[in-house]
């Protein structure tokens, strides 16, 4: 009971600005004595601190509280196919620092060596000792067994049954999560989804993956494989997909699909998806035509998802969103074409607010949540 109250009171202080003991007691329906005892404990543990005073009704000044940002830090790491993104969050969830390093060799041994070097280096650059790191969150583009932390399968990294956690030298607890799930949690905790309870994050990259938030919680599925909408069939006799089926959504809507389509239409192989986005932003006719195809399929897939789950918000993430000025109206129009009108009425379509940091912030957020659970 005491621990439950402690977590409740801490979360209340975290979610609201400048609260006094009396207001906290009122908000949570607890006695002021209980609140005062817990607050003393949290304060002497250094988890919260005072942040000024407010006049109470009797004219006496009451102390206000906030989370102590220096009570610990979380490192979030997003392992992408060609780069690793690091973020550091303080105990209050503020973004302290970010770092990005290119990845030329994707083998798990090389990735582990890089992480073992960079994790302490990153803390040191921010003048934080490794003792202050509450945990490390890892986001990976693959299927993760959330219980064991083992990455069952990450096709774009060419990883199978990789226990990255066991390869890291770090003493702090390590959590591993799928990148789209992590990005969904990132947007929910720190981005556009903060005030939304039902949300789908659609990660458009070399594949298409989704993170599903239902009633404020991540939905992982029985085999931790929920959100693989990239492999829903949109054309039953369509082109082969790397999953072994044909006509999957990501064959038509991913960045890879855009590059293939561009090559089909022009005979020209672009260097990478960045180049496609640049051409799109510059208004190149061919890139615009390819984007129309891609956006149509994004609309089909998102429409199907929305019809099935009726979320409040769909958040689109990935490099394509850098061209949001060009594609926003088109995508909205396509989603409308394929979505039941009843599900459209309260649906909000957003682009990721955290962009390339969404997954890293999401996994760092898991670390912070676990620290609160352990209070
Ligand atoms: Zn597939």
pLDDT value at residue 54: 81
Distance from the alpha carbon of residue 46 to the mean position of ligand 1, in angstroms: 49
Pair (284, 341) in one structural domain: yes
Distance from the alpha carbon of residue 17 to the mean position of ligand 1, in angstroms: 46
Pair (277, 213) in one structural domain: yes
Confidence category of residue 343, pLDDT binned at 50, 70, 90 = very high
pLDDT beyond 90 at 326: yes
Distance from the alpha carbon of residue 308 to the mean position of ligand 1, in angstroms: 19
pLDDT value at residue 41: 94
pLDDT value at residue 56: 62
For residue range 98-150, what is the model confidence (pLDDT) as tens digits? 999 999 999 999 999 999 999 999 999 999 999 999 999 999 999 999 889 99
For residue range 144-193, what is the model confidence (pLDDT) as tens digits? 998 899 999 998 899 999 999 999 998 999 999 999 999 999 999 999 99
Q: Are 353 and 186 in contact (CB under 8 A)?
A: no
Q: Are 65 and 48 in contact (CB under 8 A)?
A: yes
Pair (210, 329) in one structural domain: yes
Last residue of a domain, one of 25, 45, 67: 67
| CA dihedral over 323, 329, 332, 338, signed as positive or negative | negative
pLDDT value at residue 52: 87
Q: E strand or H helix at 48, and its extent?
A: strand 48-55
Q: Which residue intervals of the chain are DSSP H helices? A: 2-15, 21-28, 32-44, 108-125, 164-167, 179-190, 249-253, 255-266, 273-281, 285-309, 324-338, 341-344, 358-373
CATH of the domain at 61: 1.10.10.10
pLDDT value at residue 136: 98
Burial 176-195 (b: 16+ CB within 10 A, else e): bbbbbbbbbbbbbbbbbbee
Confidence category of residue 324, pLDDT binned at 50, 70, 90 = very high
Distance from the alpha carbon of residue 132 to the mean position of ligand 1, in angstroms: 42
Pair (53, 180) in one structural domain: no
Distance from the alpha carbon of residue 103 to the mean position of ligand 1, in angstroms: 26
pTM metric for this prediction: 0.93
- Give CA angle at 23 (11, 35), nearest 5°: 65
Last residue of a domain, one of 38, 67, 96: 67
For residue range 236-267, what is the model confidence (pLDDT) as tens digits? 999 999 889 999 999 999 999 999 999 999 99
CATH of the domain at 94: 3.30.420.40
Pair (202, 334) in one structural domain: yes
Pair (216, 337) in one structural domain: yes
Q: How many domains does the chain have?
A: 3
Pair (198, 343) in one structural domain: yes
Q: Could you give phi then psi for residue 90, rounded to 5 degrees?
A: -85, 180
Q: Which residue has the tokens 């209050």?
A: 92
Pair (168, 209) in one structural domain: no
Distance from the alpha carbon of residue 131 to the mean position of ligand 1, in angstroms: 43
Distance from the alpha carbon of residue 331 to the mean position of ligand 1, in angstroms: 22
Average confidence score pLDDT of the chain: 94
Distance from the alpha carbon of residue 200 to the mean position of ligand 1, in angstroms: 19
Pair (120, 141) in one structural domain: yes
Q: 3-state DSSP helix/strand/coil percent for the chain, to nearest 5?
A: 45, 25, 30
Pair (59, 45) in one structural domain: yes
For residue range 28-60, what is the model confidence (pLDDT) as tens digits? 999 999 999 999 999 999 999 999 888 766 667
| Token output for 26 | 């009122």
Pair (8, 88) in one structural domain: no
Return the C-alpha torsion angle 184, 189, 195, 196, nearest 10: 20
Confidence category of residue 231, pLDDT binned at 50, 70, 90 = very high
CA distances to 41, 44, 166, 282 from 38, rounded to whole Å, are 5, 10, 37, 58
pLDDT beyond 90 at 229: yes
Q: Which residues surround ligand 1, an ion (CB under 5 A)?
A: 231, 241, 243, 245, 248
Burial 19-36 (b: 16+ CB within 10 A, else e): bbbebbbeeeebeeebbe
Which residues span the domain enclosing 23? 2-67
Pair (220, 176) in one structural domain: no
pLDDT beyond 90 at 1: no
| Token output for 20 | 């006094």
pLDDT value at residue 298: 97
């Amino acid at each position: 009971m005491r621990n439950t109250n402690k977590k409740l009171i801490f979360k209340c202080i975290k979610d609201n600005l400048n609260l006094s003991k009396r207001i906290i007691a009122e908000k949570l329906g607890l006695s002021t004595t209980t609140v005062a005892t817990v607050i003393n404990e949290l304060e002497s543990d250094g988890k919260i601190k005072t942040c000024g005073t407010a006049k109470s009704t009797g004219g006496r000044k009451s102390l206000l509280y906030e989370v102590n940002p220096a009570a610990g830090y979380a490192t979030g790491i997003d392992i992408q196919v060609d780069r690793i993104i690091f973020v550091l969050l303080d105990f209050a969830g503020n973004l302290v620092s970010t770092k990005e390093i290119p990845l030329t060799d994707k083998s798990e041994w090389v990735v582990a060596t890089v992480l073992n070097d960079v994790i302490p280096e990153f803390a040191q650059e921010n003048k934080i000792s490794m003792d202050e790191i509450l945990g490390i969150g890892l986001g990976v583009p693959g299927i993760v067994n959330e219980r064991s932390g083992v990455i069952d399968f990450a096709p774009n990294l060419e990883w199978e049954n990789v226990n990255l956690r066991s390869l890291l030298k770090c003493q702090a607890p390590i959590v591993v999560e799928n990148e789209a799930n992590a990005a969904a949690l990132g947007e929910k905790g720190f981005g556009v989804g903060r005030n939304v309870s039902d949300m789908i994050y659609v990660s458009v990259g070399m594949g298409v993956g989704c993170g599903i938030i239902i009633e404020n919680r991540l939905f992982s599925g029985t085999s931790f494989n929920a959100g693989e909408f990239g492999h829903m069939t949109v054309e039953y006799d369509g082109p082969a997909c790397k999953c072994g089926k044909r006509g999957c959504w990501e064959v038509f809507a991913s960045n890879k699909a855009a590059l293939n389509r561009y090559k089909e239409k022009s005979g020209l192989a672009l260097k990478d998806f960045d180049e496609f986005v640049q051409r799109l932003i510059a208004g190149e006719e061919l890139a615009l035509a390819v984007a129309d195809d891609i956006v149509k399929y994004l609309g089909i897939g998102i429409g199907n998802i929305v019809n099935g789950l009726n979320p409040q918000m769909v958040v689109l993430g990935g490099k394509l969103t850098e061209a949001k000025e060009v594609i926003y109206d088109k995508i909205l129009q396509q989603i409308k074409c394929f979505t039941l009108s009843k599900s459209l009425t309260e649906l909000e379509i957003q682009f990721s607010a955290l962009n390339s940091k969404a997954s890293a912030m999401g996994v760092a957020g898991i670390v912070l949540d676990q620290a609160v659970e352990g209070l």
